[in-house]
Structure 1
Amino acid sequence: MRCGAGRAGDASLACWCAIGSPVDLCFPRCVYVTFVLKVLPRTKVNYEMVLHRSERKMIYDVYCFMKREADNNAVDNLKQCMKRTAAATKCSVATVRRIVKSSKDSEFLTVFRTPGKNKRNKQKPITDINSFDQGVIKRIIHNFHVTEKELPTIGKLRTKLQEDLHFQGSVASLRRIIKNLGFKWKKTENNRKILIEQSQIRFQRIEYLRKIKKYREEGRPIIYTDESYIDSSHASHHSWTDGPTKGNKKPLSKGNLLVIVHAGGEAGFVPNALLTFKAGTKSGDYHDNMNSENYERWLRTKLIPNLPPNSFAIVDNASHHNKQLDAAPTSNTKKVDMQTWLRQKEIQFEESMLKPELYNLLKKYKEQFRKFNIDAILNEAGHAVLRLPPYHPDLNPIEMAWSQIKGYVANKNDDDSESNDDESSSDRSDDDEMATSSTNTASSLGFHVTHDDLMQGVSPLI
């Protein structure tokens, strides 16, 4: 028996009756209609809801499915809800079944979870290590080859670093670190992967160490230069406490980021060569951050006037150290400019040569005519320049001095926090004075790690 309530004009009840809901109930039709209208109120349409591309496509698929049924007058298998839903939405029956099973139904509200939404976020790889630890990692890898006579596999290396450096990174993080240090995994004859240093980096290290050895035998002063950034509010992260008493308090406000540039050798830091300035300043002789302009000004005004005669300045491969004089054209340079550069260098070429041919020609002479700005500045003053091999900050003893300076700043800030709890950061000592005094402290200790000590770990690899 079917109800004719749909003729009464109620759309929701008509829908129930259209699919054949039984109405052989024991109460009058008016009571039944009232019951249905109260229990099943009409769904309120949300006109402000934004439908994304996939949702719009699914609605269109359902519309096309229903239109095909209407055009063919074929509404079969009404009770096979999952199959009809899968056909209308173009999903598999298994997908429909999984969604229905995972839904959380209240009386008139269904809540769904987005797949993967509650997954735990991946931890950030631990790859940000300082230059000192980078040097330790390189020496451990070398010791595997030279001292322990073992293959430095990734598992052995990670275990060793956990013991020596308390390394907390994963295998993937360690693999990324050693790749950034210039190493690569290479298969041996038995197809076992081991750590092998790139031949070009090894060649540059060998060349550097032989030159250093030669200059030391000649008695020439070797001066290491470097720059670092120090936060004037840098403080220790840990301190001893018995529980009731509080430990040292870190400064609440961030201090100034100081740029420190200095040079030194076995006799200590070069007198009057210290440069400190606040990073990001827009005025003064030294402004912004460390760049080629500031570095070259420091060479002329601070370092060169105080260098011993016939010195060798050691620099790393930072970009502001490698600004070129009359840089060679690149592949994007205009053809006319390529021809001009070749003429200036008195390199013969044919006028009919195309741009790729010109570039291939000048690439052969690029290294021959490459000269850096700082090399020219120091050569003019009677000094020479030697660059550290790539990925070898451990060969620069001044790195040890930076750690002493940062420790001095941290200790001073700890002392200030105990004696001047209520003072603002503006009442502290001047930042430049702090940097100067800390540098003098490190200088008084001397370059306790000489280049001979550093070479002991790598000289067997020459």
Structure 2
Amino acid sequence: MNSALFIRWLTSQLLLALAEPSVLVLDNAPYHTQLTEESRCPTTATSKVEIVKWLECRRIPSPPHSTRPELLLICKENRPEPWYTVDDIIRSWGHEVVRLPPAHPELNAIEQVWGCMKRHVCCSLQWFTRADLQARLQEAKLIATREVWASAVRRSRAIEEEYWSADNIHEGVDPVIIIIDSDDEDDLCVDSAMD
């Protein structure tokens, strides 16, 4: 899979099939994370001329005789927020995008469904022929029932809840503000008058 194929499938198949506004959950596969031109930043493979041009286009000052590594450091310090081509396409069709955190496939229900399908193919493959593989793949598609999907979604949600609980994150916690008294720098005052 690559970005071009994914975008073609997205626009010619998936987005056409969604009748009402939906939320699409994307992981960090390379074909989901192609940056828009505006959010790309020069890399070590970028020529010095292109780096200078990138900085000038964004009106980012740089010393006149900077070396390439110095210019790359300036670019890194001024790196734009990542914005993905796929997200723009999905939003232009009236849908929303939720991106999963990197390295957390357990939060993505489709990974669990793929796992069931892969296990079926591995366990039932009798002959290492293309015909047998295709037959096992067709059977595996039948495994991805509504019930299997619902179970995978429930499991992903339960894991997410476990993470929230383990992080001990609570919504609605009152802020604590620490004010440093300008007269005496040694005294710290906790202002809880914000209640």
Interval containing the TM-score (normalised by the shorter chain): 0.5 to 0.7
Tell me the CA shift for residue 410 of structure 1. 4.9
Deviation, structure 1 residue 337? 0.9
Amino acid in structure 1 at the alignment position of 2:107: L
Structure 1 gap segments, 5+ residues each: 1-289, 418-423
Q: Deviations 1:342-379 (Å, cap 9, x if unpaired)?
A: 233x32325725144432322222133x3222222222
Asked if structure 2 preserves the Cα contact closer than 8 Å seen for 1:401 and 1:447, the reply is: no
Structure 1 counterpart of 2:100? 388
Aligned pairs (5 A) from 1:17-416? 290-326=1-37, 327-344=40-57, 346-350=58-62, 352-354=64-66, 355-368=68-81, 370-410=82-122, 413=125
Cα separation, 2, equivalents of 1:367 and 1:331 = 17
Q: Tell me the distance in 2 between the aligned counterparts of 1:426 and 1:349.
A: 59
| In the alignment, structure 1 residue 439 sits paired with structure 2 residue 141 | yes
Other structure's SS at 1:367 match: coil
Q: Which residue of 1 aligns with 2:160?
A: 455
What CA RMSD, in Å, does the superposition of the two structures yield over aligned residues?
A: 3.0
Alignment check: 8 A CA contact 1:292 1:321 kept: yes
Shift of 1:395: 0.9
User: Which has the higher Rg, Structure 1 or Structure 2?
Assistant: 1
**TM-score w.r.t. length of structure 2:** 0.66
Verify the 8 A CA contact 1:398 1:447 in the aligned structure 2.
no
Structure 1 residue 335 displacement after superposition: 2.4
Q: Which amino acid aligns with 2:140?
A: S
Question: Going by fraction, where is helix more abundant, 1 or 2?
Answer: 2
Change (3 A) 1:455 1:426: closer
Structure with more relative contact order (C-alpha pairs < 8 Å, separation 6 or more): 2
Identity within the alignment, %: 27
Letter paired with 1:389: P
C-alpha distance in 2, partners of 1:359/1:302? 40
What is the rounded CA distance, in whole Å, between the counterparts of 1:366 and 1:340 in structure 2?
15
Cα deviation for residue 448 of structure 1 reads 0.7
User: CA separation of 1:305/1:359 partners in 2, compared to 1, >3 Å: closer, same or farther?
Assistant: same
C-alpha displacement of 1:426: 6.1
Structure 1 length normalisation: TM-score? Answer: 0.31
